């Protein structure tokens, strides 16, 4: 397997963390997970997005930077592969949706400074899930502060992700994960494992699950 740093992305409730755990176990890889529970502004954001969006996004960016910065300074001789359940660019995409223009421009300046200091993934797995299914997944995992997320918010995030992937020449495997059951169906996970055994040109490559 030629990819040493794999990032998994997708909308809220797409199944990123579940897949990251499974891939990490399969490859005996170092696992980097989004520390959403440590963000004190997250519950407040869902109650008052306008007031708490900027500190929310700053906190997330600082935490993601801290996690990913360690990749530059540490090498694990027994784990040559790193799996992350987020792409650092996620900071910018969520900020684009959540912040008004003036705050976004300031946030983008900070992001651009930090982004240049980080190692970028060799390949991105993007899990595409329709909003109806995302809402079912969100209800199922039952994080109390997520239960009132509006469809419109998820649609906006979905479109922001889609536009970014299309406009940037990232090496991205786009997986239709509408009916994904990576825990319960080995053939679903095997599609991803088989896909990661191949070499790809820059750009998007599409896969569906059986």
Annotated catalytic residues are 85
CA count, 13 A, side-chain hemisphere, 168: 13
Q: How far is CA 178 from CA 17, 131, 158, in A?
A: 16, 9, 13
Q: What residues does 83 pair with on adjacent strands?
A: 6, 31
Judge contact between 99 and 49, C-beta under 8 A. Answer: no
- Host H or E run for residue 31: strand 30-32
Judge contact between 114 and 61, C-beta under 8 A. Answer: yes
- Rounded Cα distance between 146 and 66, Å, is 25
């Amino acid at each position: 397997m030629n990819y040493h740093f794999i990032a998994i992305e997708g909308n809220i409730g797409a199944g990123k963390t579940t897949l990251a755990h499974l891939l990490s176990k399969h490859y005996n890889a170092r696992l980097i997970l989004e520390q959403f529970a440590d963000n004190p502004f997250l519950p407040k954001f869902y109650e008052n997005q306008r007031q708490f969006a900027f500190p929310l996004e700053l906190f997330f960016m600082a935490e993601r930077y801290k996690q990913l910065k360690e990749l530059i300074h540490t090498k694990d001789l027994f784990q040559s592969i790193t799996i992350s359940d987020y792409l650092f660019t996620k900071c910018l995409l969520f900020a684009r949706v959540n912040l008004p223009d003036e705050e976004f421009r300031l946030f983008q300046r900070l992001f651009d400074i930090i982004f240049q200091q980080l190692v970028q993934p060799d390949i991105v797995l993007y899990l595409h899930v329709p909003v109806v299914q995302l809402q079912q997944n969100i209800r199922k995992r039952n994080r109390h502060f997520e239960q009132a997320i509006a469809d419109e918010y998820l649609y906006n995030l979905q479109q922001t992700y889609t536009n970014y992937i299309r406009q940037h020449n990232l090496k991205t495997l786009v997986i239709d994960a509408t009916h994904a059951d990576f825990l319960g169906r080995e053939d679903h996970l095997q599609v991803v494992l088989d896909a990661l055994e191949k070499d790809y040109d820059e750009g998007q490559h599409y896969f569906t699950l059986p």
